[in-house]
Each structure stands twice: as C-alpha cells, then as structure tokens.
Amino acid sequence: MKKTRKIYLPKWQRWFLIPLFVLIWGLITYLNFFGPQESREELGMVGYIILSIMFLGLGVMMWLLSSGRLPAYLIEEDDENQD
C-alpha cells in the first residue's frame, strides 16, 4: 500500500516573497502611470491589468502554499512493512 505525504513550503517564504511582489507591482504601477511618457506607452492599460491579475494570483498561490493549505509536493512511498 502506498503512503502519500504532503510537503508544504516554509512560512518564511510568505514573509519574503509577498512584499517582494508588492514592491515589483508598485514599481510597475509607478512607471505605467507616473513615469516617463515612453514607459507609459509600452505596457498599456490592458497589459497592466493582465500583469496585476497575474501578480495577485501568484501572491495568493504563494500564501496558500506556505500556509499549509495547498501542498507544494505530493510524495508517494511504498509501505515496506507489508509482506
């Protein structure tokens, strides 16, 4: 019979990566709305919305992976005690 073990990410990644995502998103927001005119035209509003949804999804996924609600890995091991 196989045993399934669930492996979760460590909690420190939540406190490191989520603020990093917020800083990157803030920089992109600043450059898109308040930066030089050349950088405003490169991404556009549709690209900014898609990028914001992507960063939100990544943040939620990292939170769930590091909080113990969504496993990062599933390891199946054979039970060696069974004959």
Report the predicted TM-score, pTM, of the whole model to 2 decimal places. Answer: 0.80
Domain tally for the chain?
1
- Any domain includes 83: no
- Write out pLDDT tens, residues 19-72: 999 999 999 999 999 988 877 778 889 999 999 999 999 999 999 999 999 999
- Any domain includes 44: yes
> Contact, 22 vs 15, CB < 8 A?
no
Q: How far apart are CA 72 and CA 6, in angstroms?
A: 8
Give residue 60's domain range. Answer: 2-78
- Any domain includes 46: yes
> Contact, 68 vs 61, CB < 8 A?
no
